Structure 1
Amino acid sequence: MSTTHAPIRVFQVASGNVGSEMIKRISAHRDLELVGLHCYSPDKIGRDAGEIAGLEPIGVTATGTIEEIIAAQPDVLTFHGVFPDEALYERVLEAGINIVTTADFITGHHRDRNHPHPSGRKVTEVLEAACQRGGSTFYGTGMNPGLCQILGVVHSADVAEIENVTVIESVDVSCHHSVETWKEVGYGKPIDDPSIAGSLEKYTRVFSDSVYMMADCFDLELDEVTFTYELGACTKDVDLGWYRMPKGSLGANYVKYQGMVDGVPRIESHLEWQMTPHTDPSWNIKGCYITQITGDPNIYSKHMIFPKPGVRLDNPEDFASIGMTVTGLPALNSLRSIVAAAPGIRTSADMPLRGFAGRFVR
C-alpha cells in the first residue's frame, strides 16, 4: 500500500485510559493527524490534548461541543469513551464524518435489543439513516470484542469441516484502571449479591455481537446466543491501590456467550477475567487470547502480547498502557479503510485485510 497518502484528519472523543494512549499513538502514526479532541469533563476543555495525555503540548486544544467537531471537518472521528454517545454519533455521521468506535458496538445487535433509542427506532436504523444522509461510515472494533473474534475466523481458513469455534480472553484485568467500569460489572460486591449476574451480563452483552459477527463470516444462522457465568470470590481483602475488593466479594469471573444451533454450541466467546488471583474458584489465567477450533483438523492458537524491550510489567502504568494500546490500535489501523468504505454501518466481516494491518516504524 502506498505511503504517500495525505494524513487522515482525526478528531478524537474522550481522553480516559484508552483515549490518552491513543493520543500518544496517533502522534507516532505516520498517516494520521490529530485535529481535535472532544472531552466531556469541563476541567479538560481548553487544555492542550498532549498535556491531558501526559505529553508535551501538541497544539490541539480540547473542546466540548458537537458543533466544534463538525466545524473542524475531520475525515473521521474516533470514539474511545466507556459508553456510547448515540446522539453525538447521529449528528456527526449526518455531517458526513466517518466514525470508528471502541465503545460497545460490533454489529449493533446488542444495542438494538438492550438499549432502545429514545425515538423508538432501533439504534442501527438511526445510525444507518444518518450514514446515508451524510455519506459516512460507522464501524465498531477493539481488542475484545474485535480482533479476538477476527483471529477466530482467520484461524479457520485451513479447516475443512468445523464443529465448533471458541475464542477465549484469559487475562488479568487489574491493568484496566476504570473504577466506574468495574463498579458497573459488580467487582467488589459480595459474591451472593443478586445484582451481580445482571450487572455482569449488562456490561458484557456486546460479546453476543461478537458471536453474531463470527456467525456472519461463517454463513451460519444461529438460533440464539446464550449467556452463562461462574463467579470467583476473593479469599482475602484485596487492595490494588486504585480498587478495593473485600474478602468474599467478586474478584474473578468466567463468562460464556454461546451461539446455539439445534441446541448445540457452535460459536463461542469466553471471558476468563481475574482482578486478583486470590479467588475461589480461580482460573488458570494465561494472559492471552486463545482460538480453539474443533473440526478437521483441530486448531489451538494463542495470541500472546509482550511489551517491547525496556517496558516493565511490574510497573502498573506500563502494564496498563499495553492493555489500552491493544484496545485502541485496531481502531486506528482501520481508519484508512473506513474512510474509503461505502456509506453505512460496517462490521469486521466487511473489512479488507489491509484494514487490520499495523504500521511499520518510520
Structure 2
Amino acid sequence: MISTLVWGTGNVGRAAIRAVTAHPGLELSGVLVNNLAKVGRDAGELAGLDTQLGVAASNDIDAALAARPRAVVYAASGDIRPDDALADIERALRAGAVVVTPALYALYDHRNAPEDMRQRVTAAIADGGGSLFVSGVDPGWGNDVLPLLISGLGSTVDVVRCQEIFDYTTYDQPDSVRYLVGMGQPLDYQPPMLAPTIPTMVWGGQIRLIARGLGVALTDIREVVERRPLEASVDTKLMGKFDAGTQGAVRFEVQGIVDGTPRIVIEHVTRIHPSCAPDWPQPPSGAGAHRVIIEGRPNIEVTVQATDEDGNHSAGGNATAVGRLVNAIDWLAAAEPGLYDALDVPLPYGTLGRNQP
C-alpha cells in the first residue's frame, strides 16, 4: 500500500480523501488543513462520508512530511497563492513524495513553464527523489487526454474544441466566483481570471499539450473574452444575491493558432443563472457539462456529465479531475523520479469492486 497524505480539504481535498480511500493500492496516512476549526476532526467527516476513517486532520506540516508519506495529493488552492503553493510542493518533493496537484497552472505543460519555476521543482526532485504530476480541475483530462483520444477516431481533424459549460450557482467558492471570475461585479470591473494573458497562463499549457499530441506547431495563442449582464437580480442558495446589470455570464476562448487559423480551442461558458446568455452553449441537462468537439471527417462530439455529493455537477467535475490525479499515483511511484505531464502519465482503467468510502 502507498501511504498517501491529502493536503487541503476544500472542494478538491474532499474528493481526494474519497478517491484515496477507495483506491485499492493507496492508504490514507494523513490529512493537512489550514483552518484551525478542522484540526482533530476525522478525515471521513471532512470528506462528507458517513463513516470514520481513523485519520485525524492536522495543521502540522513538518510532522506530516516527517512521517515520509510516499505520495501527497496537494489539494490546496494555488489561484491566489501560487508562490505559497509552489513552496509547499517543493517541501513535499524534498520529503521524497510523489506529488499530484492541480495547483500550479504553469506546470500543466512543464516543458514551457517559466525557467525559474521549473528549476526550483527539478532541484527539489533531485534533492528528495520525488515526482510531480500537475493536471487541471477544469478538468485536465477534458483538455488533454480525452480530445487526443477522440481525435484518433476520425479520418481528418480540422479543429479540436474543448468546452466547459457551467452554472456557478452550485459552486461553493464565493471569492473565486465573485472576485476572480467577476460574477455579480459591474461590467467595468476587471476580473483577475479574465485579465489579458491570464487565460493563456492557465489554459495555454493544455493547448500546447494537445498540439504536441497532434504533432502540430503553434504559431500563436490568442484570447477572446465576452461578458453579459444579468437582466434581473437572482438569489442563489450558496452565494446569496447577484444584482441585475452586473456580470451574469462570461464566455472566453483560448485559441491555439496553426498557420493563422484557430485549430485548438479551449472554451469556457460560465453563468450564475441559466437565464443569462441563453443563446450561448448550454449543458444537455443540469448545471454543467464538459464537451469535446472534433471538427473534421467525421464530426465527433462527446459530452461528459459527472455528479457527486448528492448530484452536484461542480463536485462531480472535481471528483473526475481528482480521480485522474489519484489514479496516477501508483504509476508515478513505480516510475523514475521526475517532472511529468498528462502525455507522460497513462490513464489507467478503473477497477470494479473498489472500496466504497
TM-score (norm 2): 0.86
> Which SS does the other structure have where 2:127 is aligned?
helix
Give, in whole Å, the separation in 2 of the partners of 1:25 and 1:351: 18
**Aligned sequence identity (%):** 27
Q: Does 1:251 align with 2:245?
A: no
1:291 counterpart residue number: 292
1:77 counterpart residue number: 72
The superposition leaves residues 216-271 of structure 1 with CA deviations (integer Å, 9 ceiling, x where unpaired) of 21222212211111112111111112223211111211110011123211211111
Which AA in structure 2 matches 1:250? Q
Give, in whole Å, the separation in 2 of the partners of 1:71 and 1:283: 50
Give, in whole Å, the separation in 2 of the partners of 1:203 and 1:66: 32
Q: How many aligned positions are there? A: 339
Give, in whole Å, the separation in 2 of the partners of 1:214 and 1:242: 35
> Which SS does the other structure have where 2:119 is aligned?
helix
Q: 1:107 to 1:54 in 2, by over 3 A?
A: same
- 2:266 pairs, out of 244, 250, 269, with 269
5+ unaligned residues in a row in structure 2: which ranges?
none
Q: Does 1:176 align with 2:171?
A: yes
Q: How does 1:1-362 map to 2 (within 5 A)?
A: 7-55=1-49, 56-83=51-78, 84=82, 85-105=85-105, 106-108=108-110, 112=114, 122-149=116-143, 150-182=145-177, 183-195=179-191, 198-199=194-195, 202=198, 205-243=201-239, 244-280=241-277, 282-286=279-283, 287-295=288-296, 297-305=297-305, 307=307, 313=311, 318-354=312-348, 357-362=349-354
Cα displacement (A) at 1:214: 0.9
The superposition leaves residues 196-233 of structure 1 with CA deviations (integer Å, 9 ceiling, x where unpaired) of 67458647731111101111212222122111111121
Give, in whole Å, the separation in 1 of the partners of 2:8 and 2:310: 27
Cα displacement (A) at 1:312: 5.7
User: Does the Cα contact within 8 Å between 1:231 and 1:281 map onto a contact in 2?
Assistant: no
Give, in whole Å, the separation in 1 of the partners of 2:193 and 2:45: 39
Q: 1:285 to 1:262 in 2, by over 3 A?
A: same
5+ unaligned residues in a row in structure 1: which ranges?
1-6, 113-120
Which AA in structure 2 matches 1:276? H
Which AA in structure 1 matches 2:88? L
Which AA in structure 1 matches 2:100? V
Which AA in structure 2 matches 1:299? N
The superposition leaves residues 111-133 of structure 1 with CA deviations (integer Å, 9 ceiling, x where unpaired) of 63xxxxxxxx6212211221122
1:117 counterpart residue number: none
Cα displacement (A) at 1:50: 2.2
User: Does the Cα contact within 8 Å between 1:185 and 1:200 map onto a contact in 2?
Assistant: no
Q: 1:13 to 1:303 in 2, by over 3 A?
A: same
Give, in whole Å, the separation in 1 of the partners of 2:255 and 2:176: 24
Q: 1:65 to 1:224 in 2, by over 3 A?
A: farther
Q: 1:43 to 1:86 in 2, by over 3 A?
A: same
> Which SS does the other structure have where 2:38 is aligned?
coil
> Which SS does the other structure have where 1:77 is aligned?
strand
The superposition leaves residues 8-33 of structure 1 with CA deviations (integer Å, 9 ceiling, x where unpaired) of 21101100122123223332222221
Give, in whole Å, the separation in 2 of the partners of 1:278 and 1:303: 21
> Which SS does the other structure have where 1:103 is aligned?
coil
Give, in whole Å, the separation in 2 of the partners of 1:87 and 1:163: 41
Q: 1:203 to 1:291 in 2, by over 3 A?
A: closer
Which AA in structure 1 matches 2:41? R
TM-score (norm 1): 0.85
User: Does the Cα contact within 8 Å between 1:142 and 1:326 map onto a contact in 2?
Assistant: no
